[in-house]
Amino acid sequence: MSDLGMFFGLLGAAVAVLFAGAGSALGVGIAGRAAAGVVTEDPSKFAQVLLLQLLPGTQGIYGLLVGFITLSKIGLLGGGDVTVSLSTGLMILAACLPIGIVGLISGKSQGQCSAASIGIVAKRPESFGQAMLFPAMVETYAILALLISILAVSNIPV
Amino acid sequence: MAVVEMQKISLAALKTKRKAILEKLQMLGIMQMEVDSIDDEELMKMDTAESRATWDKHAELCDQAAAILDKYAPEKKGMLDSLKGKELLTMENAQEVIERRHPCNKIARKILRYEKEISDCNANIAKDENLIESLVPWMALDVPLSFEGTKKTAAFIGTLPGVLTEEQILTGLREKAPELAAVDVKVLYTASDSVNVFILCLKEEAETVETALRGLGFSRPPQLTLGKPERVAEEARKDIEEQKTKIAGVIERVKVNAGSREDFHILGDYYRTRAEKYRLLGQIPQSQNAFFLTGWVPKDAAGAVKNLMEKDYGAVCEFEEKKEDEVEPTALRNNKFSSVYEPIVASYGLPQHGKVDPTTIMSFFYMFFFGMMLSDAGYGIVMVIGTAIVLKKYPRMGEGIKKMLTMFFWCGISTTFWGFMYGGFFGDVIDVVATTFLGYTGPTPILKPIWFNPLDAPMKLLVYCMLFGLIHLFVGLGIKGYQYLKEGDVVGFVSDIIAWYALLIGLILILLPTDLFGNIAQMHFEFPAAVNMLAKVLAAGGAIVILLMSGRSNKNWGLRIALGAYDIYGITSWLSDVLSYSRLLALGLATGVIAQVINTMAAMVAKNLGIVGIVIFIIIFIVGSILNLAINLLGAYVHTNRLQYVEFFGKFYDAGGEPFVPFETKTKYVEIK
């Protein structure tokens, strides 16, 4: 049964990377379509819209981050001899849920927001600074989720 | 440090001096014109629309010619060449080019004509290619598409729907017209849903066959070419070759003129400047012999402008008081360090006159928070060296980009500082290299953090982040208090600022010794009873003042108290503002951990591979670090902006200033010394 703890720990890492990454993929995809449209009209805006497209990409990185901390916690990286009990495994899974789920949802909505901001840049390139802020507002909640996931994972005793 | 004070200035001068005065002012670029403020029906305005359009058209001509040259005879450009800035010219050089503007325009028109020839050729090529494409199914035909038969026979060339064989078509024809004597069917080409056919029959049976064919859905090709399809296609191909040779020839002729590119740039800017002058000229009020100007000049330059205009140009110059409904334009002036943050403030909105310019105070927090978020000494050093090299190498780059790079230079220093505080140098690359390649077995980390490693004590850092945030917010509130005092509103200062300080400090002092805080932060505070008492008094006193005074503009006491209570509810916004600073921790951790991921991956791949391993390690490390730096740089920039705009500015700052836009030389390519 000791493997089961390990399994749930791993499932936690998977949830973090999987959902947050999927959210970012959706978001970057949505923003990317808008960005491509702008660049067909005005190639000189490439750098600006590329930055805006990248903004929803951070959720995936946060997921990776939590996944990495989790993997090293359960001893899959750097191979310390750690046994993970079932309850610990489940706790780790729970700790990974915030960044996974919030990452998925916020990644997608941040992508939609970025697409709208790309629209601002298309019409008023001088408002780039403001346009960048709207997607950043969405990201706040991914950061909060990341924070709780990190604090939880690193404080679970193994 | 401040918003530049503006002086309204009015000027009247003789029309004979008009050109000289406008050109001087344009060169100085110091005065923002207010053309609508003089309203007098006896004064007229000159109609300059036509001459302005002429100058604009010429500017466009030069720009287009230069763009065509760039297309066919591109200049060799490095990646960073766009940073070189505008070309510097002496007055004589520019004058010399302007002298020969007429032949230059002729060359520009010639280049435009060449461009037209090239696009005509390209259109022909496209037409030929379409023709060849449409002839592909008819290649097997050795008569022209327009062939209708011989003396005795009739031919039908066209397509039938459906994928049919020759037998199937014959059967179909015989079904429709059983009496047919002789008919020959040849399938020339089978497409995915139709066949191209050649059908031959006796002339006297032509009508019967045609009716039968129509019944099968026969249609003739849309365009009939004379000559055998194969020959027509061959000719089209030959024509394409010819057009291509012609284009190459024309491009050569364009290239011959590459030397004129400089001239086009200079002339384009010259025409643009002229157009700008005529734009203003059309707006200024004039009488028979005089003209009038009104506008804003920075106060410290106003005296000099007045002197210059009166002495050199015999103008009458007057300082005016600003009227009630007028808003003076905003320009910011800060010391060298802080001025690079002006674009950040401007992007949120410029301050109004009489309000505080937040740039200087913001600049320190900006640098501090940016460093905390990126927080890696290695990345910081890369930023510092990178920006320093670029700044040094291209001293004449555009103003905006220069400010931005200088800002990143300072933020890089802060990043380096925080990197060493947290013990992060490209993540943990020192440890990884030492243990993987150098056989180091001693204690890690080798590079000890000056302060502490956030991964070891995230809660502790979280508390510090909120403390920094609280300081930031308190400073913001303090600036608002300063504005109250500057406007002489002592009541406002006490009830909106002091009361909040009292309430918040009181609440914090109450919170600190509690078990709740102790458990979260793992820090325990014991205050003497007097302090605990003071905390309660502060909190209660602050709350009461806010409750009573917040709605002081209302006469109705019930409403006033209700508004006060609502304001106390605003304490939740303080809570969320402070929590928002947790991003300092989260983003700081993100950089470090992702850098570690990269290093670990690189080491895992490279382990036990000897020299090859080292090369692989270096490649993965460099690529990964660049990616990590890029994404975290973007994150740090965006979120530092957010902390300034939402949390800090939210406490005191109303934008709404109009930017100062002086009448000046607007050039694209060249700058005249």
The average pLDDT across B300-304 equals: 89
A70 touches A12 (CB < 8 A): yes
A55 and B638 in contact by Cβ < 8 A?
yes
Whether residue A1 has pLDDT greater than 60:
no
**Cα B355 to Cα B363: distance, rounded to the nearest angstrom:** 17
Q: Which of B226-235, B385-394, B435-444 has the highest mean pLDDT?
A: B385-394
CA atoms within a 13 Å half-sphere pointing along the CA-CB vector of B558: 0
The pLDDT confidence band at residue B37, using thresholds 50, 70 and 90, is: low
Structure tokens at B149: 């038969």
Q: Span B350-366, mean pLDDT?
A: 91
Query: Pairing relation of β-strands B153-161 and B194-202?
Result: antiparallel
pLDDT tens per residue across span A98-136: 999 999 999 999 999 999 999 999 998 888 888 888 998
Asked if B347 and A128 come within 8 Å (Cβ–Cβ), the reply is yes
* Chain A: closest CA distance from residue B171 (Å): 54
Question: Residues 54-83, chain A: which have Cβ within 8 Å of B?
Answer: 54-55, 57-58, 61-62, 64-65, 68-69, 77-78
Tell me which of B64-73, B79-88, B333-342 is least confident: B79-88
What pLDDT digit, counting tens, does each position of B409-436 carry?
Answer: 999 999 999 999 999 999 999 999 998 8
Model confidence pLDDT, tens digit, residues B239-253: 999 999 999 999 998
**Encoded amino acid at B61, one letter:** L
Q: Classify each residue of B170-199 as buried b or exposed e, where b means 16 or more C-beta atoms within 10 Å of its C-beta.
A: bebbeebbeebeebebebbeeeeebbbbbb
Per-residue tokens: B22: 């406008």
Q: Would you state the pLDDT for residue B289? A: 86
Closest CB to A136: pick one of B458, B582, B642.
B642
- Contacts B647 to A, Cβ<8 Å: none
Distance CA B315, CA B18 (A): 10
Q: How many CB atoms lie within 10 A of CB B217?
A: 13
pLDDT confidence bin for B223, thresholds 50/70/90: confident
Q: Do A130 and B639 touch (CB under 8 A)?
A: no
What are the contacts of A81-88 at 24+ separation with CB within 8 A? A82/A158, A83/A2, A83/A5, A84/A2, A84/A5, A84/A6, A84/A8, A84/A9, A84/A158, A85/A2, A85/A5, A86/A1, A86/A2, A86/A4, A86/A5, A86/A8, A87/A5, A88/A5, A88/A9, A88/A156, A88/A157, A88/A158
List, in sequence order, the alpha helices (H) in B37-100: 49-72, 91-99
Cβ pair B586:A128 closer than 8 A? no
If pLDDT is split at 50, 70 and 90, which confidence band does B162 have? confident
Contact call for residues B370 and B413 (beta carbons, < 8 A): no
Token code pair at residue A79: 């191979």
Using CA coordinates, name the residue in chain B closest to A134.
B642
A47 touches B: beta carbon within 8 Å? no
Backbone angles phi, psi at B45, to 5 degrees: -115, 150
Q: Rounded distance, CA A96 to CA A154, Å?
A: 11
Q: What residue ranges in B564-610 does DSSP mark as E strands?
A: none
Structure tokens at B507: 């609440």
Q: What DSSP designation does B668 have?
A: S
Question: Under an 8 A CB cutoff, do A68 and B638 touch?
Answer: no
Give the closest residue to B67 by CA, choosing from B123, B117, B111, B120.
B111
The position carrying tokens 């600190």 is B512
Q: What is the ipTM of this complex?
A: 0.82
Q: How far apart are CA B219 and CA B147, in angstroms?
A: 15
What's residue A81's pLDDT? 64
Residues of B in Cβ contact (< 8 Å) with A95: none
Q: If you average pLDDT over every residue of chain B, what do you get?
A: 88
pLDDT in tens, A72-96: 888 887 656 678 888 999 999 999 9
d(CA B140, CA B137): 8
Shortest Cα distance, chain A CAs vs residue B512, angstroms? 21
**SS3 track for B581-593:** CHHHHHHHHHHHH
What percentage of chain B exceeds 70 in pLDDT?
Answer: 99
Rounded to an integer, what distance in angstroms lies between the CA atom of residue B501 and that of residue B484?
15
Greater confidence (B617 vs B322) lies with B617
Distance CA B491, CA B494 (A): 5
Residues B58, B626: Cα–Cα separation, whole Å = 45
Q: CA angle B36-B42-B47, nearest 5°?
A: 60
Strands B32-33 and B290-298: antiparallel
Q: Say if CB B549 and CB B499 are below 8 A apart.
A: yes
Residue among A68, A132, A147 minimizing CB distance to B638: A132
- Taking CA atoms, what residue in B is nearest to A79? B604
- pLDDT confidence band for B203 (50 / 70 / 90): confident
What pLDDT was estimated at residue B557?
87
Residues of chain B numbered 347-376 and touching chain A (CB < 8 Å):
347-348
Q: Is the pLDDT of residue A146 over 80?
A: yes
Residue burial B288-306, b: 16+ Cβ < 10 Å; e: rest: eebbbbbbbbbeebbeebb
Contact check, Cβ <8 Å, B631/A61: yes
**Token pair of A65 as six digits:** 């981050």
Q: Does B634 touch chain A (CB under 8 A)?
A: yes
pLDDT of B368 strictly over 90:
yes
Verify whether the Cβ–Cβ distance A68 to B597 is below 8 Å.
yes
Distance (Å) from the alpha carbon of A98 to chain B's nearest alpha carbon? 14
Task: State the average pLDDT over residues B56-67.
Answer: 91
CB contact under 8 A, B462 and A62: no
Greatest Cα pair distance, chain B, in angstroms, is 126
Of the candidates B651, B288, B306, the residue with the CA atom closest to the CA atom of residue B469:
B651
- The kind and range of the H/E element at B651 are helix B649-652
- The reply to whether residue A65 touches residue B594, judged by beta carbons under 8 angstroms, is yes
Average pLDDT value for residue range B523-552:
89
Strands B350-351, B655-657: pairing kind = antiparallel
DSSP letter assigned to residue B226? S
- B608-633 b/e (C-beta count within 10 Å ≥ 16 → b): eeeeebeebbeebbeebbeebbebbb
Residue B410 dihedral angles phi and psi, to the nearest 5°: -65, -40
Distinct helix (H) and strand (E) counts, chain B: 25, 15
| Displacement of CA B59 from its chain's centroid (Å) | 25
pLDDT in tens, B458-487: 888 988 999 999 999 999 999 999 999 998
Length of chain A (residues): 158
**Residue A43 sits at the chain B interface (C-beta within 8 Å):** no
- Which residues are B316's β-sheet partners? B12
Name residue, tokens 């005793």.
Answer: A157
Q: Which residue has the higher pLDDT, B82 or B341?
A: B341
In DSSP terms, which residues pair with B219 in a beta bridge?
A: B159
- The tokens for B73 are 């005879």
DSSP 8-class letter at B324: T
Percent of chain B with pLDDT over 90: 34
B463 has a chain A CB within 8 A of its CB: no
A151 touches B at CB < 8 Å: yes
Q: Could you count the other beta carbons within 10 Å of the beta carbon of residue B343? A: 16
Q: What's the predicted TM-score (pTM) here?
A: 0.81
End-to-end CA distance of chain B: 29
DSSP helix/strand/coil, B560: helix
Min Cα–Cα distance to chain A from B631, Å: 8
What confidence tier does B260 reach under pLDDT thresholds 50, 70, 90?
confident
Strands B670-672 and B87-89: parallel
Residues of A with CB below 8 A from B428's CB? Answer: none
Which tens digits make up the pLDDT trace of B311-331? 888 888 888 888 877 888 999
Q: Are B309 and B315 in contact (CB under 8 A)?
A: yes
At residue B127, the pLDDT reads 92
Rounded distance between C-alpha atoms, residue B417 and residue B145, angstroms: 81
Burial class (CB in 10 A: 0-12, 13-18, 19+), B103: exposed
Name all contacts of B394-400 with Cβ < 8 Å and 24+ positions apart. B394/B80, B394/B83, B394/B84, B394/B85, B396/B84, B396/B85, B396/B86, B396/B88, B397/B83, B397/B84, B397/B85, B398/B83, B398/B85, B400/B343
